[in-house]
Homo-oligomer: A and B are copies of this chain.
Amino acid sequence: MNDPQNPALAAMMQRAVAERVYNFSPGPAALPAEVLQQAAEEMLSWHGSGVSVMEMSHRSREFESILAQAEADLRELLQVPKDYRILFLQGGAIGENAIVPLNLMRRLDAERPKADFVVTGTWSVKTEQEARRYGEVNIAASSVEQKFVRIPDVADWKLADDSAYLHLCTNETIVGVEFQEVPEVGQKHGRVVVADVSSHILSRPVDWSRLQVVYGGAQKNIGPAGVTIVIVREDLLGHAHPLCPSAFNWRLAAEHGSMYNTPPTYAIYIAGLVFQWLKRQGGVPAVEQRNIAKAKALYDFLDQSAFYRNEIDPSCRSRMNVPFFLADESRNEAFLAQARAAGLVQLKGHKSVGGMRASIYNAMPLEGVMALIDFMREFERSAA
C-alpha cells in the first residue's frame, strides 16, 4: 500500500488534493494533507499486517508499537522532562475541567480543597465553573470586565497561599488571547501550575519549569477529536478524589501506560502521524517560526486596514486564533459566502463573539494565510 510510485494511487490522491480547501475551523481543524494521505493508504492494511489500525487489539504488538512511538515522538517534540508522564485519555478539555480537580484539588489534604484560576476568556470561565463542584475556587484575576481583550498583569494576580494549584488557559480559542510566556509565580517553591493548552499545543515550546500539568483535546493542533493528552509531573499522581472514576484517574492511567481502559486507538495513531510530520517540518522551533510569520502577516494586514479590525491587545494576541470584525457588519454574510466560493471555509466567528475568526494552527500553511489576506484585500476593494 505504501508505494509513492503507484501511479494509480497518485492519480486518486491528486483528484482529492485538487478538491481540498483552506479550512480555518477552530476545531476539529485542518490536518496536513500528507498525514491524511498516509492514513488513507494504510487504512485496509497497516504495514502489511492485513488489518487496519482501527481493527487492532490495543494489546497487540502492532498497536503497542504505535502508542510507544507516538509517546516518544511527543516527548521529543515538547522536550518533556523524564519526571513527567504522558497520558492519552478521553473526554476532551471539557472532561478535564472536572478530571483535573478530581485528581489534583485534594493534594494538600486541606480541610477545604481550593484552587486558583486566572480567567482570560470563555474557556477559563467554563473551567472555573466546573471546578466549583469539587472545592473552593479563588479567582486570582479576571479580564471579564475588559471583555477579555488583555490578559491581567501578573503583578495584580491574587493567588491564595493554600491552593492546590493555579489553572491557566494559555490560549483562548474563542476570544483569541494567548500567554506569550507563563510567569514565574512561585513554581520554584512548590506552586503547581496547570494549563489547558488544547488550542496551541506543539505550536511553541513549553517551559516545564513553570508548568507542572498541561492538557488538551487533540482536535485543534494534533489530530482527531476523542483523544485527550495529559502531561503531568509524576509526584502529582495519587491524589484523586475517592469518587473519581477509575477511567479518569491519572495514577491508574500512568500505571497502565494509558491502557487502564481501551484507549482511542485510531485517534492516537493519527496523532502519531502528525507528530512524525512535525518532526519532518523541523520540530517545534521551526513550526513556531512559521506560526509567527503566519500570525504577523494576518495581524499586520488587519492593523493597516480600516475595513477590518482585531480588538485584542497586541501583547497577548493569539498566534492560533485570529478573530476579526468588518467595520460594516452588514457585509458579514457576503464575506462568508464569497470566501467559501474562493475555497476559504469556516471563517465565521464564535456565536458568543460574532464577526469572523481565522484559526491558523500548525497544519495551516503560510499559503493559506496569504490566500485569506489576498481575498480580504480584494473583498475590501470591491466593497469600496
Interface residues in chain A, defined as those with a beta carbon under 8 Å from any beta carbon in chain B: 1, 6-9, 11-13, 15-17, 19-21, 23, 25-31, 33, 36-37, 39-41, 43-45, 48-52, 54-58, 60, 90-95, 97-99, 102, 130, 133-134, 217, 219, 223-227, 241-243, 245-248, 260-267, 270, 343, 345-346
Q: Which of chain B's residues have a CB closer than 8 A to the CB of A93?
A: 261
- Chain A to chain B contacts (Cβ below 8 Å), 17 pairs: A1-B12, A16-B45, A25-B55, A28-B262, A31-B54, A36-B52, A37-B44, A91-B247, A93-B261, A94-B246, A94-B260, A94-B261, A94-B262, A97-B247, A98-B246, A224-B264, A245-B248
- The answer to whether B21 touches A1 (Cβ under 8 A) is no
Interface centre among A7, A50, A102 (most CB of B within 10 A): A50
- The answer to whether A95 touches B247 (Cβ under 8 A) is yes
Q: Which of chain B's residues have a CB closer than 8 A to the CB of A134?
A: 243
- The answer to whether B225 touches A99 (Cβ under 8 A) is no
**Copies assembled:** 2
A55/B30 contact (C-beta < 8 A), A90-B226, A245-B98 known: yes
CB distance from A169 to the nearest CB of B (A): 15
Query: A29 CA to B7 CA in the complex, in Å?
Result: 32
Q: Which of chain B's residues have a CB closer than 8 A to the CB of A98?
A: 245-248
A91/B90 contact (C-beta < 8 A), A9-B12, A56-B25 known: yes
Chain B residue at minimum C-beta to C-beta distance from A22 = B50
Q: Which 4 A-B pairs have the closest CB atoms?
A: A8-B8, A226-B264, A98-B245, A16-B44
Chain B residue at minimum C-beta to C-beta distance from A38 = B43
CB distance from A55 to the nearest CB of B (A): 5
Chain B residue at minimum C-beta to C-beta distance from A242 = B133
Q: Which of chain B's residues have a CB closer than 8 A to the CB of A28?
A: 54-58, 262, 265
CB distance from A346 to the nearest CB of B (A): 6
Specify which of B30, B55, B130, B245 is in contact with A23 (CB 8 Å cutoff).
B55
- The answer to whether B15 touches A346 (Cβ under 8 A) is no
A94/B247 contact (C-beta < 8 A), A16-B45, A262-B28, A264-B224 known: yes
Specify which of B40, B99, B226 is in contact with A265 (CB 8 Å cutoff).
B226
Q: Which of chain B's residues have a CB closer than 8 A to the CB of A225?
A: 58, 262-266
Specify which of B19, B44, B45, B263 is in contact with A50 (CB 8 Å cutoff).
B19
Query: A210 CA to B264 CA in the complex, in Å?
Result: 31
Q: Which of chain B's residues have a CB closer than 8 A to the CB of A261?
A: 91-95
CB distance from A255 to the nearest CB of B (A): 14
- The answer to whether B19 touches A267 (Cβ under 8 A) is no
Chain B residue at minimum C-beta to C-beta distance from A133 = B243
Query: A291 CA to B20 CA in the complex, in Å?
Result: 41
Chain B residue at minimum C-beta to C-beta distance from A16 = B44
Q: Which of chain B's residues have a CB closer than 8 A to the CB of A33?
A: 44
